[in-house]
Amino acid sequence: MTVTEVGPLHARYVRVADRFKAIWTYHQFATGIFRNFLDQAPPYTLDFKLVYEGIKTASGKLNAAQANDARAALDGAERAVGAASKELLKADDAITPSLVRRFFEKLNLKDEELIYFLVKFYLYADAVEGDRRDKIDFLFTRIGEELLPGRGEYISRESLEFREKLIALLSVLRVAEAPRDEVISLIRAIRSMRDEVLAAKTFDDLTSKHLLKNSRTFKHRIGDLYFDPDVLLAVVQLNVASKNRFAELYQAEEQRILDDSQKLLRHGEAIERNFGETNPELAEAIARFREYKERFDALRAESNVKHDLVAQLKLSIGNVLAQLDRGLTASDEEVAELPDAFFDQQRQTDSIGDLFGRNEPLLPVLVRIAGVLDYIATHIALEEAIELPAVRELRLETWEVAAYQKLFARMEPDSPEDNDELWTLYLRAAALRIKVDQEATALAMAGAAGVKPDADVLTNAKQSLDCAKTLDELFGDLLQEAVYYSNPKILHQLYRSRFRLLRGFSGLWLIYDQQA
């Protein structure tokens, strides 16, 4: 073998050695996360010394005489590094983007070499989708921003210098070069989003217009185009602008929230005592407010407050005020402004009405579902979302939350068969379950008290039973097709949603039959 032919082997050695440094850096980073934030040891055991020895062995054979031995040693080293990377990626599933941010901010880390190798860890493994896109996005922004101490805000680094560093980093991923017309179009779109964020005058502008959520969704949907150096430069500039605007608007918003929350906490018991019996929804609204306030305080102590939680807390305060207004009679005093929650509810009513129809009998319950899910950020894992207090109260399934996000938050379908017909059926079935449970409880309480149920309750129950039969037929039709779907999860989801609905239907029917 000639000296020229040794060149590719040397390139392989450089890449595997660089990748080893990346996994070693990630191991140190993950160890810090697990021990300092998750109170446990990393959930893996790797012999890094053995992997390093394999790479070292290969380095000693990079010559023409030992080329075959070098090739075999490199094969083994690459397999060992790849296997170690897979183990680390399994551990990475437990590390949320929020934990990555807290780790760097708590330790005040600005070690660029550390960040470079963390980015390389994800790029070498081609692990760049989902939550990992958010982690990479944070890391790129971390090395692409500079703090101006006197002004307390961040600026983007000089484009030319930073672009050269990005090109060197992105060469690890080996993505195809993007067409320039697409790149230019994306950059214009990103700058437009940046301008929208900078134009936000209040914190509500950021939340009600979903500016931050929409930019995150955009970054996920552009796929590999995200890794074009010029697109990534524009993304970092958007992120820096969003970070500055969020911090600026949140400071004033936080003080208002704290003031309003303290007032409610001081007077909450008196309000419940005076108005709770005549307005049970008020007591529920106050309980929900207290849950959000506890979460807000806990995350605020960790400097980890997210805009969606702020929106939820504000909404819960608005709901308390709205319920309190319902329990008070009008006076000659000046009528207070409608709370923001009123406009949120009207917007949700319009959105639901446009999709499901203004005459949809389940419209009020669908609006209630929207009032909860509209403030659940799409980057929150579905398994975590259904455990949030407001969502848990509705007893929703993960795919029902996903159906709402796909319909209203422009989330991508999971497969070709995952479509609007399926999503609307899931949501209607979930809404009907909630309605059926309420009506069955009302009828059961009337029966236990020995009184005749209101005629409206019986009429609504009859409508629910008829609606359940219609939805059951739709489930039956889809189940006949689902056995041929490419995504087997849909079959399980259809069966579970159908049987949950049938369980509620049978319970209501038995009580209705007895009462009617």
pLDDT digits (tens, 9 = 90+) for 261-303: 665 655 556 555 555 555 566 566 666 666 766 766 666 666 5
What percent of the chain has pLDDT above 70? 77
| pLDDT of the residue at 505 | 85
Residue 498 above 70 pLDDT? yes
pLDDT band at residue 324 under the 50/70/90 scheme: very low
Range from 196-210, 321-335, 421-435 that averages highest in pLDDT: 421-435
Tokens of 25: 């850096």
Residue 401 above 70 pLDDT? yes
Tokens of 400: 């029902």
| pLDDT of the residue at 406 | 85
| pLDDT of the residue at 429 | 92
Which of 472, 468, 457, 473 lies closest to 512, judged by CA?
457
8 Å CB contact between 430 and 467: no
Residue 341 above 60 pLDDT? no
Question: 3-state class of 147 per DSSP?
Answer: strand
Say how many Å lie between the first and final Cα of the chain, rounded.
93
For residues 443-460, give the mean pLDDT: 78
| pTM attached to this predicted model | 0.55
Question: 3-state class of 153 per DSSP?
Answer: strand
Residue 306 above 70 pLDDT? no
**CA 439, CA 416: separation in Å to the nearest integer?**
37
Mean pLDDT of the chain: 80
pLDDT tens, 62-76?
Answer: 887 888 888 899 999
**How far does Cα 485 stand from its chain's mean position?**
27
User: Phi, psi at residue 153, to the nearest 5°?
Assistant: -135, 170
**Which comes out higher in pLDDT, residue 284 or 458?**
458
CB proximity list for 263: less than 8 A, separation 6 or greater: none
Which of 170, 164, 114 lies closest to 142, judged by CA?
114
**CA 138, CA 300: separation in Å to the nearest integer?**
20
Which of 201, 312, 304, 314 lies closest to 258, judged by CA?
314
Q: Which amino acid is at 56?
A: K
What percent of the chain has pLDDT above 90? 26
8 Å CB contact between 97 and 134: yes
